[in-house]
């Protein structure tokens, strides 16, 4: 028999849904997931999808479901308006409460963040930031959250001061999956030296980015560059270009990289090349810590 949830933590992104079911005293009862991401759903579908997933764990009482991510976008379940930086990481007080047809759940969606100048937005990462700051209360410096849309976030005195987004991960996915480079980078292999050289090249002369991309293809065609080198080089060109643009965020700053461990390691290596040491934290763990912090703030309101 399944145990009854006290609350549910939900990370509902563009392409995936993940839920953690907690009993009393934050005991983890179940870790659930599905590929019903926000992008594949119309607003009226969200409640049923969530109930299908967590239903077995619901009791007679109304169970809060604390959600973060693209579920709160305009095309999501219900829009959760952005909070504008500078601000502390948003919690239950700033959440949008969704009316559910099933009385067993009370969903709330944490808002994303926006910045007016230069215009920028995030949804989901603010919860990872909240988690990181809950575990590192005295952190003053910069968080880097690598991914599809990598975020660089300046933190001071517990506040999110400013941030900047780079489309690095999405460019990598498009270039490896759909561009002419796809013929050159089909491998699971990796080459540290190819990555390091490319980071250096891109940091040194970012203006050559679009020609260096084609250079990866040309090196394959006429100099038989191996696929693992080509793939590592492409990754290095993208991360190096990002580091060139994010220089003000990492130069002379205390840095923590919060994300997928494999991707985070690449940022660590690239920044270490520049003489910048970084701390690492697991992105999923920080998402969960942020959702727990939001649930705690819900109980205190």
Residue 64 or 69 with smaller CB distance to a second copy: 69
Residue 100 exposed, middle or buried by CB count within 10 Å (0-12, 13-18, 19+) = middle
Residue 27 vs 75, nearer CB to a second copy: 75
Work out how close the CB of 74 gets to a second copy at its nearest, in angstroms, rounded to a whole number. Answer: 8
**Rounded to an integer, what distance in angstroms lies between the CA atom of residue 69 and that of residue 11?**
6
Contacts 24+ apart (CB under 8 A), 43-50: 43/76, 43/77, 43/78, 46/12, 46/71, 46/76, 46/77, 47/77, 47/100, 47/101, 47/102, 47/105, 47/107, 49/17, 50/10, 50/17, 50/19, 50/105, 50/107
Residue 31 CB, shortest distance to a second copy, in Å, is 28
Minimum Å distance from CB 180 to a second copy? Answer: 6
Contact set with a second copy (CB under 8 A): 82, 114-116, 118-121, 149, 164-168, 170-171, 174-175, 178-180, 205-211, 213-215, 217-219, 221-223, 238, 241-242, 244-247
Output 46 or 166, the one with its CB closest to a second copy: 166
In the complex, least distance from residue 216 CB atom to a second copy, rounded to whole angstroms: 9
- Gap between the Cα atoms of 190 and 181, Å rounded: 16
Of the two residues 12 and 82, which places its CB atom closer to a second copy in the complex? 82
Residue 2 or 84 having the CB closest to a second copy:
84
56 vs 215, which CB is nearer to a second copy?
215
- Smallest distance from the beta carbon of 230 to a second copy, in angstroms? 11
State in angstroms the smallest separation of the CB of 243 from a second copy. 9
């Amino acid at each position: 028999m399944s145990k009854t949830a006290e609350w549910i933590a939900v990370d509902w992104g563009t392409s995936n849904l993940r839920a953690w079911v907690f009993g009393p005293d934050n005991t983890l009862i179940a870790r659930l997931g599905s590929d019903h991401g926000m992008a594949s759903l119309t607003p009226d579908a969200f409640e049923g999808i969530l109930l299908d997933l967590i239903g077995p764990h619901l009791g007679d009482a109304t169970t809060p479901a604390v959600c973060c991510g693209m579920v709160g976008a305009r095309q999501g379940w219900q829009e959760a308006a952005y909070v504008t930086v500078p601000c502390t990481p948003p919690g239950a007080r700033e959440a949008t409460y969704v009316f559910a047809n099933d009385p067993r759940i009370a969903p709330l969606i944490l808002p994303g963040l926006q910045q007016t100048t230069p215009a920028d937005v995030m949804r989901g990462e603010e919860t990872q930031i909240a988690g990181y700051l809950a575990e590192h209360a005295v952190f003053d410096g910069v968080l880097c959250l690598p991914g599809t849309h990598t975020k660089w976030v300046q933190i001071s005195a517990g506040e999110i001061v400013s941030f900047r987004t780079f489309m690095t991960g999405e460019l990598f996915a498009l270039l490896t999956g759909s561009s002419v480079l796809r013929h050159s980078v089909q491998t699971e292999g990796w080459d540290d030296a190819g990555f390091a050289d490319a980071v250096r090249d891109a940091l040194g002369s970012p203006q050559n980015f679009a020609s260096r991309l084609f250079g990866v293809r040309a090196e394959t065609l006429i100099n038989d560059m191996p696929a693992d080198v080509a793939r590592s080089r492409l990754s290095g060109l993208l991360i190096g270009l990002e580091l060139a643009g994010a220089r003000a965020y990492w130069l002379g700053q205390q840095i923590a990289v919060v994300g997928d461990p494999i991707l985070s390691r690449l940022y660590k290596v690239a920044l270490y090349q520049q003489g910048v040491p970084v701390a690492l934290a697991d992105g999923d763990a920080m998402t969960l810590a942020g959702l727990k912090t939001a649930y705690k703030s819900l109980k205190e309101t």
